């Protein structure tokens, strides 16, 4: 596709519900990131993939958060037993090559509201 695509754009979840957020990176892009952005703040790092390998997951806030990219393309961020503090915009970014060399392209984000 022309850009990074994320779905759904908006998600309302009841507290305790599990959610899955999808990211379709730009075709052929090697690197993929997930970020969490609270209202009025800058994005915070969650996790980084190079192809299918999850190289850094140190930003995941708890073991309720899980991300995968099984075939090195589409990625899914899963949040189990959602809580109110999980409400945020979740952004996905992809890069053509490894992190240090290239420009990051971001999707439109998924706005998660936990009620």
Please report, as ranges, the residues that interact with another protein according to CB under 8 A. Answer: 4, 6, 33, 35, 40-45, 48, 55-56, 59, 91, 93, 99-101, 103-109, 111
Q: By the 8 A CB rule, do 22 and 76 touch?
A: yes
Q: Least distance to another protein from the beta carbon of 62, Å? A: 19
Q: Least distance to another protein from the beta carbon of 45, Å? A: 5
35/65 with CB nearer another protein: 35
The structure tokens listed for 88 are 């945020």
- DSSP structure string for 36-105: EE-TTS--EEEEEEETTEEEE-TT--STTEEEE-TTSS-EEEEESS--GGG-EEEEEEEESS-TTTS--E
Q: Least distance to another protein from the beta carbon of 109, Å? A: 5
Q: Say how far apart CA 9 and CA 109 lie, in whole Å.
A: 6
64/111 with CB nearer another protein: 111
Q: Say how far apart CA 59 and CA 62 lie, in whole Å.
A: 9
Q: Least distance to another protein from the beta carbon of 86, Å? A: 19
17/111 with CB nearer another protein: 111
79/90 with CB nearer another protein: 90
């Amino acid at each position: 596709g022309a850009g990074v695509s994320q779905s759904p754009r908006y998600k309302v979840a009841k507290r305790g519900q599990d959610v899955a957020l999808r990211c379709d990176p730009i075709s052929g892009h090697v690197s993929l990131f997930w970020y969490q952005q609270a209202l009025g703040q800058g994005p915070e790092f969650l996790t980084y993939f190079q192809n299918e390998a999850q190289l850094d997951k140190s930003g995941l806030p708890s073991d309720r958060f899980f991300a995968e990219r099984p075939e090195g393309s589409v990625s899914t961020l899963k949040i189990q037993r959602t809580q109110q503090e999980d409400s945020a915009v979740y952004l996905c970014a992809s890069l053509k090559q490894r992190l240090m060399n290239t420009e990051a392209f971001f999707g439109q984000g998924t706005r998660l509201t936990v009620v």
